Structure 1
Amino acid sequence: MKCGLIEKTESHFVDTIEKEAYVWCEKDWKHDDHEHVHNRAQLTFVEDGYQYFHIDHKIYLVPQHHVIWIPSGKAHKITSEAKTVNLTVFLFKPVFDDEFYQNVQVFTAPPVLKEMLLYASKWNKSLAKNEEQDIFFKAILKSLPNFCKESNGLEIPAPVNIRLIPVCNEINTHFKYKLDIDSLAEKAKMSVRSLQRTFKYETGITLQKYHQLTRILKSIELIDTRQYTLSEIAYKVGYQSLSAFTSSYFSVMKVKPRINKDQGVSS
């Protein structure tokens, strides 16, 4: 059983729950490594750690204190290298008729939403009829579009064109170094102009943006290890100064990078 759903096969879940919505909290979450799908919309709040959601040829990063909305029937796979992942999963059967609910959404949980989600954990795994719970969960669901004023853009598109796969692999492996467009074009067996045009068409972002996202996502993984200062992390992901790293991080995450004081590492 996962999040209240009974797993019949590796990727198919049977929903025997009568409630329209319920919550499932997991401490020290252990993910599997296969894609699955279910007929409830899913809202996941990452309280500690981070997760990657693989959906429709994109990889969505959901760091600490962020949420991801996944429409029902949308196949997804979850991975993470975080030491500890604590999260809360809400599963909804009916949703409101709004475009927001039809698409994957990732955004920071503002303070009000975070408190609502934490309060809702008191109904963890409860399938008993409860009027307060039903009203409260419907309020969370109804308010999500307003809380999601703008997504952080925390997704890395994965191109379908097989000639671009070596390009992505090269960037993912050598993200610390400056982009060598000529070398990447050789790997793709394209001209530089064709590579740039094809990559933008396939992924919706430029090679430079892909490179930046890869660096920032890697920095989040390093921050989670609690082993390095921010200056050390900046260098490890390819930035020559802490200020350059902070600026790049802020442009993607909309907040400045920080290491919690109780983690014992200073910047």
Structure 2
Amino acid sequence: MITDQREYLAVVDSNPESVYCYHSLHYTEENDSFFDHSHKKGQFTYVEGGTIHVKTNITNYFVPGNHFIWIPAGVNHSVYSNSESVQMRSLYIPILSDEKQYYNTVGVYPATDLLLQLLSHTKEWRGDILKSHRKPYPIVQAIKVLLPDFSKTPIHFTIPIIKDEKLKQVTEFLNNNLSENILLSQLAEKFEINERTLHRLFKKNTNISYIKFFTLLRMYKAIDYLAQKKYSISEIASKVGYSSIPTFSNTFYKVIGKRPSDYQRGAEILK
């Protein structure tokens, strides 16, 4: 069993012709996550039972359960999760220089039924998958070839990396108080910032308004709670600051594209 992250990364790239398969439990921010790194192969990671965050140099990608992320070779990134039982199925895939442009772009996508069927065969696989492996190799190659077709509807669950130190403090406060209805004016008063200045900081650092930013934080946290399957929809609505279940459901649908109840019934193929 590989326990050291550097050892793991070395094994991923040790055979440049193999597809490396790895099935893992979650990383948490508290245990220093999966440190900033890159690899020579493209990375496909499917997420189940929770959520993960993938940070690149410019963007924090939020990957909910029943979605996958594609990370091109050579892209520096780190991975962490606050979910209790998230599982990830990762395939590290060699990409040739003349292959489709798709493989050069980071993206998050919902998993299709066909992708889930293919992934169900990989549940017990570990390590290098070579051309000589008669059953696994055609399946992982099919996943690679079909990825551009599986990726017709990208989702934009992203939060830009915030570099302003004061705004970092503000957003940390928001993350810790998602159940509260916090006006921009209250936030400005608490952190002793002019309200207009704070508004401009949000626009400059995130390219969205304060209201939309706070709503995204709430909906992303709601996904974490839904994935845990420990709380009712009404309890989750309250935990992220909504006293009205219909309002919470409608907001969740606008941001995520599914109703909370539909999301909670997502497929589980790795457990």
Higher relative CO (Cα under 8 Å, sequence separation at least 6) belongs to 2
CA contact (8 A) 1:83 1:224 kept: no
**Alignment of structure 1 residues 96-175 onto 2, 5 Å:** 97-121=99-123, 123-128=125-130, 129-130=132-133, 133-175=136-178
Show the counterpart of 1:200: 203
Give unpaired runs (5+ residues) of structure 2: 267-271
CA contact (8 A) 2:84 2:228 kept: yes
1:103/1:201 Cα in 2 relative to 1: closer, same or farther (>3 Å)?
farther
Q: CA deviation at 1:198?
A: 3.2
Give unpaired runs (5+ residues) of structure 1: 262-267
CA contact (8 A) 1:25 1:125 kept: no
**Alignment of structure 1 residues 175-194 onto 2, 5 Å:** 175-186=178-189, 190-194=193-197
1:228/1:132 Cα in 2 relative to 1: closer, same or farther (>3 Å)?
closer
Task: Letter of the 1:207 partner, please give it.
Answer: Y
CA contact (8 A) 1:188 1:195 kept: no
CA contact (8 A) 1:50 1:85 kept: yes
**Cα distance in 1, alignment partners of residues 169 and 47 from structure 2:** 32
1:91 aligned counterpart, secondary structure: strand
Q: Deviations over 1:103-158 (max 9, x none)?
A: 22111101111112222446432444236644443332232222222322222223
Aligned pair 1:239/2:242, yes or no? Answer: yes
Q: Tell me the TM-score normalized by structure 1.
A: 0.82
Show the counterpart of 2:55: 54
CA contact (8 A) 1:40 1:71 kept: yes
Q: Tell me the TM-score normalized by structure 2.
A: 0.81
CA contact (8 A) 1:164 1:188 kept: no
1:175 aligned counterpart, secondary structure: coil
Task: Letter of the 2:115 partner, please give it.
Answer: L
Q: How many residues align?
A: 257
**Cα distance in 2, alignment partners of residues 113 and 91 from structure 1:** 16
**Cα distance in 2, alignment partners of residues 12 and 130 from structure 1:** 22
Q: CA deviation at 1:43?
A: 0.4
**Cα distance in 2, alignment partners of residues 143 and 252 from structure 1:** 27
Show the counterpart of 1:256: 259
The percentage of aligned residue pairs carrying the same residue is: 27
CA contact (8 A) 1:176 1:236 kept: yes
Q: CA deviation at 1:245?
A: 0.8
Q: Deviations over 1:147-184 (max 9, x none)?
A: 22232222222311223212212221222222321233
1:101/1:204 Cα in 2 relative to 1: closer, same or farther (>3 Å)?
farther
**Alignment of structure 1 residues 24-103 onto 2, 5 Å:** 24-26=22-24, 28-29=25-26, 33=33, 34-95=35-96, 97-103=99-105
Report the more deviating stretch, 181-190 or 249-258: 181-190
Q: CA deviation at 1:233?
A: 0.9
**Cα distance in 2, alignment partners of residues 238 and 192 from structure 1:** 22
Q: CA deviation at 1:59?
A: 2.7
RMSD across aligned C-alpha pairs, in angstroms?
2.9
Task: Letter of the 1:92 partner, please give it.
Answer: I
**Cα distance in 2, alignment partners of residues 51 and 243 from structure 1:** 27
